């Protein structure tokens, strides 16, 4: 028997996940879709011979839907997650879990009422082989304690409507999660800096530098360049006491020609972590089927949102602000 899944959001990543769940994830069956634009859902439904619901709420309530995947626009995530929790259905929500820490707290409160983990957040980098190998090495202690992380997150361009704050809530949020995961530490303080601006910025800050300090004093800097005009480039270097470890670039053929050596850089973020997304959903379906979630939790989504809120509040103040969270409930320990 396969897990019957409904997908809310039929944009680019939603369609990718429907394909992935249908073709690459054993034990999964997408049975329904919904989208804010009904035509988008109907198109996907016709392609796969499945049902299109007029609204996400109807999809969540549908008796044949056992678990839900949310890939709709960022501001709609929290509302749909809460609907799923009320219906006691497992839900996978793309990042960010919510737009604000306050909405994450509502989600946590509902999940606590349910008495078990029902929510997983789409921090797919935790399933990327490169990051996993880095974490294994750091955790082995061979390199000594981590001291610093230098990271960068570069996108080719942004769609119309992109705003400065989204450089943190929608883009750097991946680093906010992965640096916490790599170091196994919580953040003490955070600050975002506006630096010399690129002529490629269109009404938003670009680049920005995110600075974080963990409880033990690990310093993290993340260059966030949301319109670099050359490629989707994700870099991460963890500097430890006795050595450093770098995230590998994705495999690519190297060409030697015209007295130079070169390899292509991806441009679409959906391709950069394509294998991580596959593994993430394979693991999620296994975990839901077994009734025990193990991937990134509402708590992880909450901490990322608190940190993002703190960073956005710090903009223009020239100061590090304290990252303040509620006490971690036992459910997430």
Judged by the rule CB under 6 A, the positions of this chain that interact with ligand ISE are 155, 170-171, 174, 269
Output 135 or 272, the one with its CB closest to ligand ISE.
272
Min dist CB 328 to ligand ISE, Å, is 25
The DSSP line for 167-186 is IIIIIIHHHHHHHHHHHT--
- Tell whether the torsion through CA atoms of 60, 64, 67 and 72 is positive or negative: negative
Min dist CB 124 to ligand ISE, Å, is 8
Min dist CB 208 to ligand ISE, Å, is 13
Q: How far is CA 152 from the centre of its chain?
A: 15
User: The tokens 């061979």 sit on which residue?
Assistant: 142
Going from the C-alpha of 286 to that of each of 121, 172, 242, 282, 332, the distances in angstroms are: 15, 29, 38, 6, 19
Output 83 or 94, the one with its CB closest to ligand ISE.
94
Output 170 or 183, the one with its CB closest to ligand ISE.
170
| Nearest CA among 93, 59, 54 for reference residue 74 | 93
Min dist CB 17 to ligand ISE, Å, is 12
Residue 211, H or E segment: strand 208-214
Phi, psi of 269 (to 5 degrees): -60, -25
Output 89 or 95, the one with its CB closest to ligand ISE.
95
Output 89 or 125, the one with its CB closest to ligand ISE.
125
Min dist CB 167 to ligand ISE, Å, is 9
Helix/strand/coil for 59: helix
Alpha-carbon distance of 141 to 218, in angstroms, equals 15
Output 36 or 269, the one with its CB closest to ligand ISE.
269
Min dist CB 276 to ligand ISE, Å, is 10
């Amino acid at each position: 028997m396969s897990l019957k899944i409904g997908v809310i959001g039929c944009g680019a990543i939603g369609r990718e996940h429907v394909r992935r769940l249908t073709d690459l994830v054993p034990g999964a069956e997408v049975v329904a879709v919904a989208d804010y634009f009904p035509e988008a859902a109907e198109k996907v439904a016709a392609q796969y011979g499945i049902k299109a619901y007029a609204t996400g709420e109807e999809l969540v309530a549908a008796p044949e839907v056992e678990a839900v995947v949310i890939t709709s626009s960022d501001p709609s995530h929290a509302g749909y997650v809460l609907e799923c929790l009320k219906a006691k259905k497992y839900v996978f929500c793309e990042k960010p879990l919510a737009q604000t820490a306050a909405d994450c707290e509502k989600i946590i409160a509902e999940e606590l009422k349910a008495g078990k983990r029902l929510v997983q957040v789409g921090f797919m980098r935790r399933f990327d082989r490169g990051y996993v190998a880095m974490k294994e090495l750091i955790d082995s202690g061979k390199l000594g304690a981590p001291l610093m992380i230098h990271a960068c997150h570069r996108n080719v361009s942004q769609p119309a409507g992109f705003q400065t704050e989204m450089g943190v809530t929608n883009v750097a949020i991946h680093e906010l999660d992965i640096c916490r995961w790599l170091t196994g530490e919580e953040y003490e303080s955070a600050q975002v800096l506006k630096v010399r601006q690129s002529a490629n910025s269109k009404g938003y800050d670009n680049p920005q530098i995110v600075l974080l300090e963990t409880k033990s004093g690990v310093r993290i800097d993340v260059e966030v360049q949301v319109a670099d005009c050359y490629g989707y480039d994700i870099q991460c270097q963890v500097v430890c006491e006795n050595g450093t470890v770098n995230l590998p670039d994705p495999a690519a053929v190297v060409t030697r020609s015209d007295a130079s050596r070169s390899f292509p850089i991806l441009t679409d973020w959906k391709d950069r972590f394509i294998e991580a997304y596959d593994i993430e959903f394979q693991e999620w379906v296994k975990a839901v089927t077994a009734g025990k979630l193990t991937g990134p939790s509402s708590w992880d989504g909450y901490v990322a949102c608190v940190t993002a809120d703190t960073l956005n509040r710090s903009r223009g103040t020239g100061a590090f602000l304290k990252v303040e969270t509620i006490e971690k409930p036992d459910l997430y320990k």
